């Protein structure tokens, strides 16, 4: 087997070491430095807890002062909870500005009183699973699918050109490019790539293919690199009536898919009432074991020990009964949905899948993609390499290029890449620049003719007459500032909220708008200014970073660009794909707010500005200052 996979394992080790080094650097720092670096939250206090469905505790903490969730805190990451010299580790399952929820086997006595800190830990579990997958590829024997795909992706094997016929069972509502992609998925003997630019219905397309395959008795593993993207697949399949089972921890899933989760399916089964009775008995035992007693002697210690032992045996029985039910549910559902790393679950061992369908293929590192690939006989990878790549701390070049990006051009020549060429999201002015810059002008609008050039404010030209706008803040008091390892721009945040207010005053609904920025500190500033100036609607308007809003859309987008300095430095805004993601979230209004003098040092931005002047409008911030 090619040394490429050995190189990937070394790259993975480098990435793991980079994450551990970041943690060690943080752990050797004082608490304030950890907080400033976004790796620690303090102070938190215990709020409440509940017994989860698997006999574990879900514990919720409340920050004494609500604030923006640091970038590294997201569902599924391991964390350390500590105060003074006491600590325990857990999995963070939910996080928001005003609460953080973790999963623990037991609740330590010290946790319920006093101020606590929550700190990010290195996630070594994922690295171990990815490394195991690469080892399986290296050891794969000739004649196996693992060896076939290993040779294919190491370029030791070429695919023959093919021509797929359109399948008649595809519903008429799909356009021609979508029908070609679906037909390719249904007929492939090995590998298909579905290239889905923003708004082209990529997830809808692959879900239609999965619907048809499931109806033909095929078993499909559908996965994505994140929980949010996996939930979108599961939710879409559920709406189509496809029997799908979403596996993974329920607390990491969105509420919209809980009804198709393994957890909910277990609860609906008639046998579950006996398991629930055992869980209540377990909770009562644990309550008795943890009960405070003023006089605690040898007899009380023995009694507590006995309670804990009974609880241990009861939990063991609960898990055995659940195991039998879980196997039944897995076998009775033709589609299993999980994250790429979740595909390593021992629940799936021994199961065979006709297809592994990987969504958001351009956001996953190659090692993580191998986990679901090894589960399937045929592979479908869907995504858009013109959007943001996976985050790689070590900047290792092997990890920064996903499988889909690496093979897109090569597989186009043998008919294995299907471009979805019709977008249904953006007006033509908003589409214009991304289409020309990232998609070679191949995208066409699927909007009704009367909506393609729709004005955002049809009754007047105020505040904007076009759907694509750049507001130039150069010459004002705009200036970037560094804080807590991220950049912000106080003046631009205040100004962006003033623009937002004008849009709202012109009749737009708060829920139709989103504020985005490349920087998490700017996100915090926008949030702070919004709550200060428009507290009555602050909870109805979403504020996100560009990276966190990838894969989503909104009627109107205000994009705060932040950078403003005499040297013309733009940092990671030089990653052109970040612009593509930020701009293509908008459906009917895209407003870019930034310092044209700083940004204009870059050829990419000069090109964008020229496009705005041609198909949209360029305004100065001075026009909107009261």
Segment 503-520, tens digit of pLDDT: 999 999 999 999 999 998
Q: Say if CB 404 and CB 373 are below 8 A apart.
A: no
Q: What is the mean pLDDT of residues 613-624?
A: 97
Q: Which of 19-33, 175-189, 554-568 has the lowest mean pLDDT?
A: 19-33
Q: What is the mean pLDDT of residues 229-249?
A: 94
pLDDT value of position 55: 59
Question: β-strand 444-445 against 586-594: which pairing, if any?
Answer: unpaired
DSSP string, 72-120: T--TT-EEEEEETTEEEEEEEEEEETTEEEEEESS--GGGGSS-EEEEE
CB atoms within 10 A of CB 230: 27
Instruction: Look up the pTM and report it.
Output: 0.86
Cα–Cα distance between 155 and 559 in angstroms, integer? Answer: 41
What are the tens digits of pLDDT across the range 437-487? 999 999 999 999 999 999 999 988 889 999 999 999 999 999 999 987 789
Environment class of residue 109 by beta-carbon count within 10 Å: exposed (0-12), middle (13-18) or buried (19+)? exposed
Cα–Cα distance between 461 and 466 in angstroms, integer? Answer: 8
Superfamily, domain 428-623: P-loop containing nucleotide triphosphate hydrolases (3.40.50.300)
> In the structure, what pLDDT confidence band is assigned to residue 53 with cuts at 50, 70 and 90?
low
For domain 126-243+334-423, is the CATH number 3.60.40.10?
Answer: no
pLDDT over 70, % of the chain:
97
Cα–Cα distance between 147 and 255 in angstroms, integer? Answer: 39
What are the tens digits of pLDDT across the range 348-406? 999 999 999 999 999 999 999 999 999 999 999 999 999 999 989 899 999 999 999 99
Q: Taking the domain 38-122, which CATH number applies?
A: 2.40.30.270
Q: Which of 281-285, 586-590, 620-624 has the lowest mean pLDDT?
A: 281-285
Environment class of residue 472 by beta-carbon count within 10 Å: exposed (0-12), middle (13-18) or buried (19+)? buried
Q: What is the mean pLDDT of residues 65-84?
A: 82
pLDDT value of position 558: 98
Per-domain boundaries in the chain: 38-122, 126-243+334-423, 268-331, 428-623
Do 428-623 and 126-243+334-423 fall under one CATH topology?
A: yes
Helix (H, G, I), strand (E, B) or coil at 167: coil
């Amino acid at each position: 087997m090619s040394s490429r996979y050995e190189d990937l394992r070394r790259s993975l080790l480098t990435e793991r070491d980079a994450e551990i080094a970041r943690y060690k650097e943080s752990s050797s720092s004082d608490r304030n430095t950890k907080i400033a670096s976004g790796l620690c939250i303090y102070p938190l206090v215990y709020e409440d807890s509940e017994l989860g469905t698997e006999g574990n505790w879900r514990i919720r903490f409340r920050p004494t002062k609500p604030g923006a969730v640091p970038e590294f805190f997201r569902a599924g990451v391991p964390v350390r909870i500590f105060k003074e010299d006491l600590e325990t580790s857990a999995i963070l399952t939910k996080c928001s500005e005003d609460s953080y929820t973790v999963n623990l086997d037991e609740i330590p006595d010290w946790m319920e009183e006093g101020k606590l800190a929550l700190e990010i830990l290195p996630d070594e579990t994922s690295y171990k699973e990815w490394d195991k997958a690469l080892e399986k590829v290296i050891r794969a024997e000739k004649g196996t699918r693992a060896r076939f795909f290993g040779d294919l992706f190491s370029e030791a094997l070429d695919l023959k050109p093919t021509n797929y016929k359109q399948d008649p069972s595809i519903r008429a509502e799909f356009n021609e490019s979508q029908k070609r992609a679906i037909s390719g998925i249904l007929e492939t003997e090995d590998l298909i790539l579905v290239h889905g630019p923003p708004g082209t219905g990529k997830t809808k397309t692959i879900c239609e293919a999965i619907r048809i395959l499931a109806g033909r008795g095929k078993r499909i593993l559908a996965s994505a690199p994140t929980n949010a993207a996996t939930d979108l697949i599961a939710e879409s399949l559920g709406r189509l009536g496809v029997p799908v089972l979403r596996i993974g921890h329920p607390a990491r899933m969105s509420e919209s898919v809980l009804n198709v989760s393994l957890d909910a399916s277990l609860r609906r089964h008639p046998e579950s009432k006996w398991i629930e009775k055992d869980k209540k008995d377990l909770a009562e035992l644990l309550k008795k074991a943890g009960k405070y007693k003023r006089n605690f002697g040898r007899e009380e210690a023995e009694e507590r020990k006995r309670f804990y032992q009974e609880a241990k045996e009861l939990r063991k029985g609960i898990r055995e009964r659940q195991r039998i039910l879980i196997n039944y549910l897995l076998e009775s559902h033709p589609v299993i949905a999980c994250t790429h790393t979740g595909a390593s679950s021992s629940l799936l061992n021994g199961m065979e899948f006709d297809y592994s369908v990987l969504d958001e293929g351009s956001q996953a590192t190659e090692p993580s993609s191998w986990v679901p690939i090894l589960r399937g006989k045929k592979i479908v990878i869907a995504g858009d390499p013109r959007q943001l790549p996976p985050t790689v701390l070590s900047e290792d070049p092997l990890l920064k290029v996903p499988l889909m990006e690496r093979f897109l051009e090569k597989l186009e020549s043998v008919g294995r890449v299907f471009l979805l060429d019709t977008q249904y999201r953006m007006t033509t002015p908003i589409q214009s620049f991304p289409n020309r810059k990232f998609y070679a002008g191949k995208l066409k609008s699927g909007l009704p003719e009367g909506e393609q050039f729709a004005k955002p404010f049809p009754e007047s030209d105020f505040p904007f007459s076009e759907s694509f706008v750049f507001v130039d803040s150069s010459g004002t008091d705009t200036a970037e500032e560094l804080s807590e390892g991220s950049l912000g721009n106080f003046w631009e945040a205040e100004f962006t909220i003033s623009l937002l207010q004008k849009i709202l005053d012109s009749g737009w609904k708060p829920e139709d708008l989103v504020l985005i920025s490349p920087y998490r500190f700017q996100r915090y500033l926008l949030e702070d200014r919004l709550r200060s100036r428009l507290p009555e609607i602050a909870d109805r308007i979403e504020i996100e970073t560009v990276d966190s809003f990838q894969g989503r859309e909104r009627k109107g987008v205000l994009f705060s660009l932040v950078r403003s300095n005499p040297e013309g430095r733009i940092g990671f805004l030089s990653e052109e794909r970040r612009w593509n993601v930020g701009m293509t979230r908008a459906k009917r209004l895209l407003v870019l707010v930034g310092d044209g003098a700083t940004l204009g040092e870059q050829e990419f931005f000069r090109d964008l500005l020229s496009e705005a002047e041609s198909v949209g409008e360029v305004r100065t911030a001075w026009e909107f200052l009261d």
